[in-house]
Amino acid sequence: IQQLSEATRFVLVSPESRYQPQSIRFSLAQALLGKGQVREGAAQLTAAIQVAPNYADAHYLLALVLASQGDTDAVVEHYSRAVALNPALDTSVNLHDLLGANYAKAGQFQNAARSAQKALQLARSAGDTARARQIEGKVQLYQKGQAP
């Protein structure tokens, strides 16, 4: 990662137009997240979005990262922006499952149920029956105003 960070700094100041800073930062974020460096990965995603505010992939991945941290308002902001820019991105069962859990923790069970239902739909579409069964239980609890 250190060499990747050094290379990124060089490329970001390079006069060559073939380097797109938002793509470099996105790739660096993916590498950092893969190494478990969530804070640093989120910072690179934020930087990518600052350079290219309409970078749907960065918004979507940042929404997923923030969902794992429980930042519901920011998740909704970045998720909404990503899907508005590119609806085909909306494929993450985890994002909707985590968002549902975050809403439930906040006592927003109607929103939790809606998010869990989206996660359920995506899990079924992916053929993940075990995950779908797990999420079905959450949907039922959220509809009753209960958290798992």
**13 phi/psi in degrees, rounded to 5:** -105, 5
Question: Mean pLDDT in the chain?
Answer: 88
pLDDT over 80 at 6, yes or no: no
pLDDT-derived band of residue 109, with 50, 70 and 90 as boundaries? very high
Give 110-125 pLDDT, tens digit per residue.
999 999 999 999 999 9
Residues 6+ apart with CB under 8 A from 72: 99, 102, 103, 106
CA dist 92 and 135 (Å) reads: 13
Within 2-92, where are the H helices?
Answer: 2-12, 21-34, 38-51, 56-69, 72-85
Please tell me the predicted confidence (pLDDT) of residue 1. 47
Please tell me the predicted confidence (pLDDT) of residue 148. 87
Please tell me the predicted confidence (pLDDT) of residue 35. 92
Give 8-39 pLDDT, tens digit per residue.
555 454 444 456 888 889 999 999 999 999 99
Of 47, 72, 71, 70, the C-alpha closest to 59 is: 47
Mean pLDDT throughout 74-90?
92
Q: How many CB atoms lie within 10 A of CB 126?
A: 12
Q: Which two tokens stand for residue 125?
A: 């579409």
